[in-house]
Amino acid sequence: MAIAQIYPSLLAADFARIADAALVVEGRADWLHVDVMDYHFVPNLAFSGDTVTALRSVTDIPLDCHLMIEDPDRWAPGFAERGAANVTIHAEAVDNLPATTAAIRAEGARTGLAVKPATPVEHYLDDLHRFDLLLLMTIDPGFGGQKFMDSVLPKIEAARRLLDERDLDLWLQIDGGVNAETIERAAAAGVDVFVAGTAVYGAADPAAAVEALRAQALR
């Protein structure tokens, strides 16, 4: 049974009012999704370790950091140290996967493995046990507001089967283009955790949008 967690992505919030964006979904959103970009791994720049520290001072809502950066081996543990509840690294960027995941977990955080739409999960089968979450990108990472890639649905279904068959206790997360129209078929494919930027912060009432998305995922 899917658990249907909704993580609003602050990338879609008003950057002049990030604290308000966190607080407006408090009590409704399960966690908050914080995108970290470095102009290298993706052609955009967003958020940093200082954002995590600043958010920690205004809210207790757990922070899910999605690192779209080069050299996550060097930088990821610092996000855990600053209080992120989960730190997700991209498979395409990580060098020493065992050491980096161990360093994140040593700081008391959960850790996630992210793959771009074109990156097969099969390449990482022997490493999945090192993670608490598997993020299948449903857009090419870098920007919010893109269209959900239906072509990723078979990959989601296959990943769901794989996790169940191998008894791997990872949450299956998607990120990109999640909205009222796309969330039902993603839920049917076996997603546990939905990241939603535009669908939450582009709505007149972000808290209500979170509730509506969860209800649709559970239908």
The binding site for substrate comprises 9, 66, 142-145, 175-177, 197-198
Among residues 72, 77, 112, 176, which is the contact residue for ligand DX5, using CB under 6 A? 176
Which residue in this structure is represented by tokens 């990109």? 176
- Give me the DSSP letters along 78-109: HHHHTT-SEEEEETTT-S-HHHHHHHHHHTT-
Q: Is 196 in the site for ligand DX5 (CB under 6 A)?
A: yes
- For residue 175, indicate whether it is catalytic: yes
Within 9-38, the residues that bind ligand DX5 by CB under 6 A are 9, 11-12, 33, 35
Between CA 46 and CA 199 the distance in angstroms is 19
Which of ligand DX5, Zn ion, none does 48 bind, CB closer than 5 to 8 A by kind? none
Residues touching ligand DX5, count (CB under 6 A): 22
Q: Is 72 in the site for ligand DX5 (CB under 6 A)?
A: no
Cβ distance to ligand DX5 smaller for residue 174 or 189:
174
Considering only 77-85, 115-123, 142-150, 207-215, which stretch makes contact with ligand DX5 by CB under 6 A? 142-150
Q: Is 141 in the site for ligand DX5 (CB under 6 A)?
A: yes
Residues that bind Zn ion (CB under 5 A): 35, 66, 175
Between CA 48 and CA 116 the distance in angstroms is 21
Catalytic site residue from 35, 38, 64, 132: 35
Residue facing ligand DX5 at closest CB distance: 197
The full 3-state SS of 127-165, as one line of letters, equals HHHHCCEEEEECCCCCCCCCCCCHHHHHHHHHHHHHHHH
Between CA 65 and CA 98 the distance in angstroms is 19
Strand order in the sheet with 86-90: 5-8, 193-196, 171-175, 133-137, 110-115, 86-90, 63-68, 32-38, 45-46
Within 144-173, the residues that bind ligand DX5 by CB under 6 A are 144-146
| Of 148, 133, 161, 99, nearest in space to 31 by CA | 133
- For residue 150, indicate whether it is catalytic: no
Q: Would you tell me which residues interact with ligand DX5 (CB under 6 A)?
A: 9, 11-12, 33, 35, 66, 139, 141-146, 175-178, 195-199
